[in-house]
């Protein structure tokens, strides 16, 4: 039977549709990029499943995407012979958004179109972008391996609900018909569509075909059988030599692999030969996805083995603190039937992981050196994640430390712009340690009495106020041979920064004030561990310091908040 069922979109989908239609009007043509990107993913999935089940190819192994149009009917059609969808898959994938945290994210929308349209970049636009140009979208699909009568038709006007019906479909894969809105009819044009495909989809490693534009032969009545021609380059981008790939192509490829609507900040494309052979193409995204801190958020690289797609989100090739890196790795050493379990460890994976980690850190280092402004953007978006590095990756601690940025008493307000190299470069005569102070807010640390003596001596202090900072400093003990010292702790030893006279003055002051110290100790009793005459202060009469071995204030608060 072909009874049609009408189902409602998930609330999040309705919101996303509204947002997309209203915010992407200046860049409408991206719908084609998204639909072709999905078709290419569908071909990748089929090729992979066919490795173990060749029957899925149904004698049609030339995977391709076809884009056609009907100017009279105002339609554009995108058709693939990839994996296809079952009825259930169509309902799930084209009616809901699976990403965790989506609801929370969308509830933050301000209603301010300009701001909201920037938010959409964090989302990736995907299938629903079809509704930017179409007021009706019909999807016909059949999952590879299922009989012809197990096809599905999904149809929607993008207004809150969609129809779903079981249909007969001979060819496997998915056909999407866009009924163009009034005012968008110009998209049903061969020249225009070719231009868009060239611009956005040239890097797709699968042939994208369009009807061959043959000059109408004279005196011919019957229309000749449709001929197709490939309009893209159709070779996987990462297999091409670096010198032959332009920036625009790298950027478009990023959008395809990362499912991101925005531009990347940097990339690194490398072919490794020798004991291990693989190609990697790694990207630093331009902005953090909304679910960066969600445990189940997608992370990892797209894994290919000898150019055959094997899996998305292969997490084993990069440490967690580099989970924001996107891209592709194509190995000649792994087996095509590699599983997530096999990927867990082993000498090949271990050595690729350490090389790709180093590549990623080098790419960030280069970005910080060559494009400090873009690095500042990177730091704003991902700095907190990078701060997990020293704890997770002992071997690269120094390298990661070099990439960190801090606020400091010499910086511009609370902006995190100071690198450790900057700090070392302006250390005072005789200074051999890196001083820092942690606290809850910038205003609090900036006004801390602990800073008085440093201000007097003109010595820079790093000001750390992020939640993760104390934890970070627990793992960051030195940089370039210089120790880190928390200026709120124990007896502050200023070493060579102090002159002989300073020291003598302090000793005599300590003697003079012995009686006062005793009285304070008695008065404060068990509330304090010790009372000492300090040389930290120049203006304030007293300061609370933390013992050398005690937990920092921030850590205490974190532990208290978590009930420990």
Of 66 and 74, the one with the shorter C-beta distance to Mg ion is 66
Which backbone phi and psi does 68 adopt, to 5 degrees?
-135, 175
List the x/- string, 34-53, binding to Mg ion by CB under 5 A.
----x---------------
Residues in the chain: 564
Of 44 and 393, the one with the shorter C-beta distance to ligand ADP is 44
264 in helix, strand or coil? strand
Of 53 and 508, the one with the shorter C-beta distance to ligand ADP is 53
CB 154 to Mg ion: min, Å: 15
Of 45 and 399, the one with the shorter C-beta distance to ligand ADP is 45
b/e map 202-233, b = 16+ CB within 10 Å: bbbbbbbbbeeeeeeeeeeeeeeeeeeeebbb
The answer to whether residues 86 and 150 touch, using CB atoms and an 8 Å cutoff, is yes
CB 174 to ligand ADP: min, Å: 4
Annotated ligand binding at 100? The verdict is yes
List the x/- string, 1-40, binding to Mg ion by CB under 5 A.
-------------------------------------x--
CB 125 to Mg ion: min, Å: 8
231 sits in the region (left: phi over 0; alpha: psi -120 to 50; else beta) called alpha
The answer to whether residues 302 and 328 touch, using CB atoms and an 8 Å cutoff, is yes
Q: Quick check: 201 binds Mg ion (CB under 5 A)? A: no
523 in helix, strand or coil? helix
b/e map 328-351, b = 16+ CB within 10 Å: bbbbebbeeebeeeebeeeebbee
Of 131 and 454, the one with the shorter C-beta distance to ligand ADP is 131
Of 37 and 368, the one with the shorter C-beta distance to Mg ion is 37
Q: Which of the choices Mg ion, ligand ADP, none does residue 39 contact, using the CB cut-off of 5 to 8 A by kind? A: ligand ADP
Q: What is the dihedral of CA 172, 173, 179, 185, to 10 degrees?
A: -110
The answer to whether residues 471 and 464 touch, using CB atoms and an 8 Å cutoff, is no
Residues facing residue 88 across a β-bridge: none
Report the C-alpha gap between 114 and 117 in whole angstroms: 5
What DSSP state is assigned to residue 305?
Answer: E
List the x/- string, 119-138, binding to Mg ion by CB under 5 A.
-------x------------
CB 129 to Mg ion: min, Å: 9
CB 445 to Mg ion: min, Å: 45
Binding site residues, ligand ADP, CB under 6 A: 34, 38-39, 42, 80, 82-85, 93-94, 124, 126-127, 174, 259
Annotated ligand binding at 360? The verdict is no
Question: Residues annotated in the binding site for ATP, as ranges?
Answer: 34, 38, 80, 85, 99-101, 122-127, 174, 340
Q: Which residue positions form the known binding site?
A: 34, 38, 80, 85, 99-101, 122-127, 174, 340
């Amino acid at each position: 039977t072909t009874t049609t069922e009408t189902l409602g979109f998930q609330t999040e989908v309705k919101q996303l549709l509204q947002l997309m239609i209203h915010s992407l009007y200046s860049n409408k043509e991206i719908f084609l990029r998204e639909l072709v990107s999905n078709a290419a993913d569908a071909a990748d999935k089929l090729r992979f499943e066919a490795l173990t089940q060749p029957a899925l190819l149904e004698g049609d192994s030339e995977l391709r995407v076809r884009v056609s149009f009907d100017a009279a009917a105002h339609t554009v059609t995108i058709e693939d012979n990839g994996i296809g969808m079952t009825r259930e898959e169509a309902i799930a994938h084209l009616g809901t958004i699976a990403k965790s945290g989506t609801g929370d994210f969308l509830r933050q929308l301000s209603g301010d179109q300009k701001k909201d349209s920037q938010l959409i970049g964090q989302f990736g636009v995907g299938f629903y972008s079809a509704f930017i140009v179409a007021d009706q979208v019909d999807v016909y699909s059949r999952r590879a391996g299922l009989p012809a009568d197990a096809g599905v038709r999904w149809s929607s006007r993008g207004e809150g609900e969609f129809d779903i019906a079981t249909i007969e479909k001979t060819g496997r894969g998915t056909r999407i018909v866009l009924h163009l809105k009034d005012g968008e009819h110009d998209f049903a044009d061969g020249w225009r569509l070719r231009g868009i495909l060239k611009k956005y989809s040239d890097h797709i490693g699968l042939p994208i075909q369009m009807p061959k534009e043959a000059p109408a032969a004279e005196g011919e009545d019957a229309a000749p059988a449709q001929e197709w021609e490939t309009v893209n380059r159709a070779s996987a981008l990462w297999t091409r030599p670096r010198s032959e790939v332009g920036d625009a192509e790298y950027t478009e490829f990023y959008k395809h692999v990362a499912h991101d609507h925005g531009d990347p900040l940097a990339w690194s494309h490398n072919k490794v030969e020798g004991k291990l052979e693989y190609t990697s193409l790694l990207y630093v995204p331009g902005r953090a996805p909304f679910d960066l801190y969600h445990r189940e958020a997608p992370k990892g690289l797209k894994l290919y083995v000898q150019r055959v797609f094997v899996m998305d989100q292969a997490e084993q090739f990069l440490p967690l603190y580099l989970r924001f890196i996107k891209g592709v790795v194509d190995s000649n050493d792994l087996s095509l039937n590699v599983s997530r379990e096999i990927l867990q460890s082993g000498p090949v994976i271990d050595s690729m992981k350490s090389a790709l980690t180093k590549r990623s850190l080098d790419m960030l280092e280069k970005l910080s050196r060559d494009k400090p402004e873009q690095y500042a953007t990177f730091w704003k978006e991902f700095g907190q994640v990078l701060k997990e590095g020293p704890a997770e990756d002992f071997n690269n601690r120094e390298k990661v430390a070099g990439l960190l940025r801090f606020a400091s008493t010499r910086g511009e307000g609370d902006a995190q712009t100071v690198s450790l190299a900057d700090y070392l470069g302006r250390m005072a005569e005789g200074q051999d340690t890196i001083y820092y102070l942690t606290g809850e807010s910038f205003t609090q640390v900036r006004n801390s009495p602990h800073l008085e003596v440093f201000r007097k001596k003109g010595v820079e202090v790093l000001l750390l106020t992020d939640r993760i900072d104390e934890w970070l400093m627990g793992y960051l003990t030195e940089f370039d041979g210089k120790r880190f010292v928390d200026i709120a702790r124990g007896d502050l030893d200023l070493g060579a920064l102090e002159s002989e006279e300073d020291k003598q003055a302090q000793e005599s002051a300590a003697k003079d004030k012995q009686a006062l110290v005793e009285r304070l100790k008695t008065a404060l009793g068990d509330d304090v561990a010790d009372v000492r005459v300090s040389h930290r202060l120049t203006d304030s009469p007293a300061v609370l310091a933390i013992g050398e071995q005690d937990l920092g204030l921030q850590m205490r608060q974190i532990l208290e908040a978590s009930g420990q």
